[in-house]
Chains A and B, each alone.
Chain A
Amino acid sequence: MSIVKDAAEAAKGLAQAVTKKAIEVAPDGWVPGGTPDPLIRNQHGHVGKPVSRIDGPLKVQGAARFAAEFTLYGMTYASVLFSTITKGRIATLDTADAEAAPGVVLVMTYRNAPRMRPMPAFGSNRMAAGGDDLPVMQDDRVHWNGQPVALVLADTQEQADHAKSLIRIGYEAEAATTSFEAAKADGTEPGQFQGDPLQVTIGDAETVLASAAFKVDETYRTPRHSHAAIEPHAATVMWDGDMLVVHDATQAVTHTAWSLAHMFGIEQDKVRVTSPYVGGGFGSKTLWQHQVLGAAAAKLADRPVRIVLSREGVFRIVGGRSLTEQRFAIGAEKDGCFTAMIHTGTTIMTPHSAMPEPFIVATRSGYAADSFKMEVRVARIDMVANTFMRAPGEAVGTFAMECAIDELADRMGIDPIELRIKNEPEKDPTVGTPFSSRNIVEAYRAGAERFGWARRQPPGARREGEWLVGLGCATGTYPYYRMPGGVARISIGRDGHACASVAAHEMGMGTATAHTQVVAERLGLPLDQVTVEYGDSRLPGLFLAGGSQQSAAIGAAIIAAHRALVVELLKLAGNDSPLAGLKPEEVGGLDGGLAKLDEPARWESYASILARAQRAELSVEAAAPAPIENQHWSMHSYSALFCEARVNAVTGEVRIARFLGSFDCGRILNAKTAASQFRGGIIMGLGLALTEETAFDERTGRVMSASLAEYHIPAHLDVPAIDVMWTNIPDPHTPMGARGIGEIGITGTGAAVANAIYNATGRRIRDLPITLDKLLSAGIG
C-alpha cells in the first residue's frame, strides 16, 4: 500500500471514528427514534391483534403465484450442468449432440454466453446482491465443485434435461484447498463484517482468565448448514426490447435489479424484478448465478426462459452457513461476576465470498465483564460461496457462549439463570452506549415460572424408563438494524382507500399483514380500506428482507410518508375545514380522516378533504432518515429459551419434549404471525442442534448431502408443541416500538438444547449436531 493510500485510509478511518463518537454522544432528540413513535401510545387499535394472514386464502388454494409459475408466450426451459471438479479449467467441450437433440433451442457455455461484468458481491455497493464476485460463464475457469459450466434451453424441461446429459466436457484440474485443516495451515486472516473488523480487545483478558477463581475454556464446533427453503430457486425471465423482466424468488428485488443491470451494462430502470411470493428465503434468496444465466440465455435465444434449479442445483450453486471452530472462555469471581470473556476462532470462506460467519456479534453486548477478547479469523477454501443464513453469527455464536455459561454455572454450583442475571450489563459492555430497551431479566422470570424451571434436577438425576430427562435454558439475542434506503409512497383516494407502496418482500414473515395493520392504524382506517403493495423493484425504496430489519425499514419509511401526507392533507383542507390552522404534529388519523389529537371533535374525513379540493387522489412519497439510532443506543431483541430434552439411554436418540421461548422484542405487531416467526426460528434451531449438517467431502470440495433426503431438517414428529410468550414492552426508540423477530428464534436454541441434554445425561457435547453417535461415544446411560 502506498503512503498516499495509507494516509487516505487513515483519514477515512479517523473521520468514521469521529462521526461514530458524535452519534454516540448526540442528544437523543437529534437521532431517529429520539421522540417515540406516536403509534406506541395506541393500545386498542389494529397493531398487535392476531390478524390472520391476508394472503392466507390464496396460499391455501394454491393460487399464490411463485417465480416459476409465471407463463410467458414462447417460453423455453433451462437445465444447468454443474462442474465435477473443484478448480481448474474446461479443456474440452462438445455440445453437438446436445444441440441436435429434440426440442433444443440452444446450448450456452462460456464460448457463446453474452459478455457480462462479474457478479457484484454483497457489500461492494449498497445495492449489490451477489453471493460472490465471480464472472458468470465468461471463461474456461472453474472455481468450485458444482459451478455452472453449461446451460441447455429447450421447449420442455424433459428435453432440456435429456440434452444436458449429452454434453461431453473434459477438465484440467488444478490443486485446490478443500479441507479445513489445510486451509488453516495456509494461514488465516482477520474477518470483517459490514465494514467492521470482527475483533474486540478490552483489557488483558488472557491474564485475567489465568488468575480467575472459576473458569471455563472450551472449544465448540458447528458444521455447514443449508437454508433448505422448500421452494427451489427459480426465475422466469424475458427481454422486452431492451427491458429485462425477471419474475424472481428474492428477498432483495431492487438490489437484484441493480445488480443485473450492472452485469449487463444497462440502466437500472431497464430491469424490473418482481417477487410477489417467496417460498422461504432465510438468507438464501438473493442473487446467484441462475438469474444471470436465465437472463443471458433469454438474450441469446431471444425467447423467454424459465430456470428452476433442481434440488441438487440449489446445493451446488447457492451457498449456506459456513462452519465454525470457536474457543469460548469465561473467568469469574467467587460471587459469579465475570472478569474475562474470550470468544475467538476460525470460520471459512471462499476466495470470492463476502461473508465471514460473524460468530462474536452476540458476545459483544451479551454480558458485563472486566475484560474482553474476541476475534473471528478466516481461512479460505475452494467451495460454493458461503452466505447469510438465519441469524448469521448469532445462531452459532450463541451456541458457544450460552453453553459456556451453562458449564461455568455447573462448575460453580449456581443456577444458570441466576448466573446470567448476575452478569446483566447496565450499558453496552463493549461500546458503552445505553440500551434502548432491555428486559431480558423479566423474560427469564416469566419464562421460568411458566416452564416450571424450579423442578430442574442435578445432571443425570431424572430417569423415566429408558429415557433420561433434563431441562436447559439459554439466552438468545439479535441486533436491531435498520438499513438505509427506505422510501415509501402512500396514496389515498376519495373513496377513503389507502395504498402504501414499498419495494419490500413477503416470504412468509407476515410483512404484508402486519404493515396493513400499521398503516391502517396510522391513517385511522379499517383493515379492508388499506392495501400494502410490495414485491416489485418498480416500487419505491431499497429494502432487504434480511437482518430482521425489514419491518423497521418499512415502518420508518411509512412514518416519513405519513407525515408528508398529513402536511399535504392540511394544505388541501384549507381554512374551511375544522382542521384549519393545525400543525402536522397536532393531528392524527381517526375514523377515516384526520383529527386533532387532543380534541378529536375537530375532525374531517379524507374523502371530504379530497372532495373539497376536487382531488380524486393524493399520493406522496418520502424517505426515512439515516439509520443511526443503533449507533446511539445499543439495540437488540432478546429471548430466554427453555428446553426439556429426553435422551434414550440405550440408543442415544434425543427427543425434545417441551420448548418455551420467552421473548423481549419490543412491541409485537401481529400476535399470530409473530408467534409463527418465533416458533419457526426455534424449529430451525432444533435442526441446528440435533440433525442439520451439510455433508462436505473434504477430498473433493463437493457437497455430499445435496438433497432433502440427506440434509435433515426437522419433520413433524421432531417438533414438540412450542410455547411462546413475550414482554410486549415497546422500544421507545424504534418505529412502532418494535424490534426484529425473524432471526431471534434460532439464536440460543442450539445451546438450550445442548444444556438440556447435559442436564439429562451429565454429558457435554460441544460439536453440533448432537447426534446419537456422539452421545453414545460420550458414555451416556
Chain B
Amino acid sequence: MRFVINDTDIETDIDPRTSLLDLLREQIGLTGTKKGCNQGACGACTVLVDGERILSCLALAVQYEGRQVTTVEGLADQAGLHPLQKAFIEHDGFQCGYCTPGQLCSAIGMAAELQRGLPSHVTGDLSAMAIRATREELAERMSGNLCRCGAHNGIIDAIDEVFGERRGQQGYDAEMPEKVA
C-alpha cells in the first residue's frame, strides 16, 4: 500500500490490523509519534491527516492510503523548527517530552479548527463570525492531550504566542506552514 507521510511516498505491505500509529512507529521507524495508552485517552499519538488532527492509535492504517499524513518529524522544514516548536522550547512547554509530539500536532490542528470557526464547549457566542482564541478556548481545545509532568502552563503559553489572541507579540511569525494549514 502507498502512504504519503511528511510529503514522502512510502510503499509497504501491512497487516490489516495495524493501526496508523504502529505503522509509523514499528514499520516506518517514525517513532516521534508516541503511544501513551493505545485507546484514545491521552492524545500522545496525535498526527495530522490532510491538516486535521486525529488519534493515530484509533486509526487503522489501511484507511489512510494516499492521504497526507503529517507527524512531528514533518513540522520543521529547511528554514528550521516550526514556530510552535520554538515556542515550546522557549516556554518550557514540556518536561519529559513524551506527550510533546502529540501536543504540537494537536495544537496545529486545533488552530485550523479555530480558523474555520468550529465552536467548543467553552465558546460563549456561537453566532459570532470569528472565535476569539482566548486562553480558555485554547485550554479546552487542548484538553484531549494529557501531560503528566505538569507542563500545562508552558504549553498554553507557547500555543497562545503562536496561535492565540496575542500571536506575533513575542517576535514569532503567526503564519502556519502551508502544508498543514
Contacts and interface: CB of A to CB of B under 8 A. Distances in A.
Contacts of A510: 95
B39 A709 contact: yes
B118 interface: no
| Contact residues on A (Cβ < 8 Å of other chain), bracket | 35 or more
A770 interface: no
A708 B153 contact: no
Contacts of A227: 148
A302 interface: no
Contact of B140 (A159, A672, A717): A717
A509 B148 contact: no
A279 B101 CA distance: 12
A66 B96 CA distance: 10
A277 B31 CA distance: 13
A719 B17 contact: no
Contacts of B36: 230-232, 311, 708
A230 B34 contact: yes
B152 A716 contact: yes
Nearest to B85: A60
Among B85, B92, B155: residue with most chain A CB under 10 A: B92
A57 B149 CA distance: 18
Among B98, B104, B146: residue with most chain A CB under 10 A: B98
Given A53-B92, A676-B95, A684 B142 contact: no
B136 A717 contact: yes
A708 B146 contact: yes
Interface stretch (B48-56, B67-75, B124-132, B164-172): B67-75
Contacts of B41: 311, 707-709
A61 B72 contact: yes
Contacts of B98: 66, 229-231, 279-280
Contacts of B152: 679, 683, 714, 716, 719
Contact of B150 (A57, A61, A676): A676
Contacts of A718: 143
A672 B145 contact: no
Interface in A691-719: 707-709, 713-719
Contacts of B144: 715
A234 to B, nearest CB: 9
Contacts of B22: 157-158
A59 B94 contact: yes
A508 B40 CA distance: 24
A135 to B, nearest CB: 29
Given A673-B92, A684-B150, A64 B97 contact: yes
Given A62-B73, A683-B152, A311 B38 contact: yes
Instruction: Give the secondary structure class of A's interface.
Output: loop
B96 A508 contact: yes
Contacts of B39: 311, 707-709
B81 to A, nearest CB: 7
B42 A280 contact: no
A282 interface: yes
A708 B73 contact: no
Given A280-B149, A508-B97, A719-B152, A62 B89 contact: no
B149 A676 contact: yes
Interface in B18-42: 18, 22, 25-26, 29-42
Contacts of B15: 156, 158-159
A63 interface: yes
B97 A61 contact: no
B88 interface: yes
A308 B90 contact: no
B156 interface: yes
Nearest to A715: B143
B32 to A, nearest CB: 2
Among B95, B151, B154: residue with most chain A CB under 10 A: B95
5 contacts: A60-B72, A61-B32, A61-B85, A156-B15, A708-B41
Given A60-B100, A311-B39, A715-B144, 9 more contacts: A62-B33, A68-B35, A162-B17, A232-B35, A232-B36, A308-B35, A676-B151, A716-B139, A745-B150
CB-based closest 5 A-B pairs? A62-B32, A680-B150, A508-B95, A279-B98, A59-B97
